[in-house]
Amino acid sequence: MSELTPADGQPDVVGATYLAEARSRFRYYRWLTERALEQVNDAEFFRVDAPESNSIAVVAKHLAGNMRSRFSDFGNSDGEKPDRNRDGEFLLLDEDSRDQLELKLQQGWDLVESTVDALEPEDLAQTVYIRAQPHSVLEAVNRQLTHYAYHVGQIVMLAQRMRGPSWESLSIPRGQSASFNEAMQASSTA
């Protein structure tokens, strides 16, 4: 990654820092998704708990569709691809197996990561289009970061609710904040 802007040759520390953080956040959201999915069985993956609610499978299908649409041919074509069927992402079909949905989600994460990894600080001010509306690359990346965090949170919450007491925490487990903070303090002074 280049840290030089073409205009003045000075390091673009803010742009480089932003991209490093965006890459880190996308990888973290992927990690959360994968750890949550590992904890649910097939019945839980497809379970819908209430009318108008989504299953983990539907949220995964929607995420995969959004990722493919937004990050395929990034910057060269509109982020809402004409072949995308967003409404169809919220319907499960007979061919929507867990393996197939997880593969599409993995491919989506791979596409997000490879696209964002290729960005340079000077790219952040470039214009991309989503549904024919102009966005800076920075705005488009932020938009997707927040959108994916929202849906990853849904997946984690649904998985946690379904697993109940057998859920393995993906963050600081209840009742362990003080010991976690002490460990963090100890590691920073070592």
Q: pLDDT tens digit string along 140-173?
A: 999 999 999 999 999 999 999 999 999 999 998 8
Check residue 174 and give its pLDDT: 84
- Residue 6 belongs to a domain: no
Q: Do the Cβ atoms of 19 and 118 come closer than 8 Å?
A: no
Our measurement of the distance from residue 72's CA atom to the centroid of its chain's CA atoms, rounded to an integer in Å, reads: 15
Residue 87 is part of a domain; what is its CATH number?
1.20.120.450
Q: What pTM was computed for the model?
A: 0.89
- Residue 29 belongs to a domain: yes
Report residue 178 as tokens.
Answer: 């003080």
List the domain range (segments joined by +) for residue 99. 13-189
Amino acid identity at 178 = A
- Residue 1 belongs to a domain: no
Total tally of structural domains belonging to the chain:
1
Q: pLDDT tens digit string along 2-60?
A: 344 455 656 689 999 999 999 999 999 999 999 999 999 999 999 998 888 999 999 99
